[in-house]
Amino acid sequence: MLLTDAVHAIETVGGVWLGISAVAFILLGLFVEIRRKSAAVDVEARRDGLAEASKPSTHSRQLDLVAQAEKRPAAKKAPARKAA
């Protein structure tokens, strides 16, 4: 009797856990799909030039920082020699 009750309790807990996992998996799938669609809309907007030009993306700011770091300082010109 005690063993039967324990098995029944384990089956119940396992069933509840399985149900919660299924719901979480479905919600995760919906979340990923929504994020994928919103990212596709953002890419299309940037491609069409509809994105705000005043707010550069993080990627373009990183590229700007890299470009600034790669610039070499201008060499100073040597003074012109006087003719003898």
For 16-40, how does the pLDDT look when each residue is reduced to its tens digit (9 = 90+)? 999 999 999 999 999 999 888 888 7
Residue 64 clears pLDDT 90, i.e. is over it? no
What is d(CA 64, CA 66) in angstroms, rounded to the nearest whole number?
5
Q: Which residues contact 51 (CB under 8 A, 6 or more apart)?
A: 42, 45
Contact 45, 51 (CB under 8 A): yes
Are 42 and 33 spatial neighbours (Cβ–Cβ below 8 Å)? no
> d(Cα 72, Cα 74) in Å, to the nearest integer?
6
Taking alpha carbons only, the member of 36, 65, 3, 2 closest to residue 57 is 65
Rounded to two decimals, the pTM is 0.45
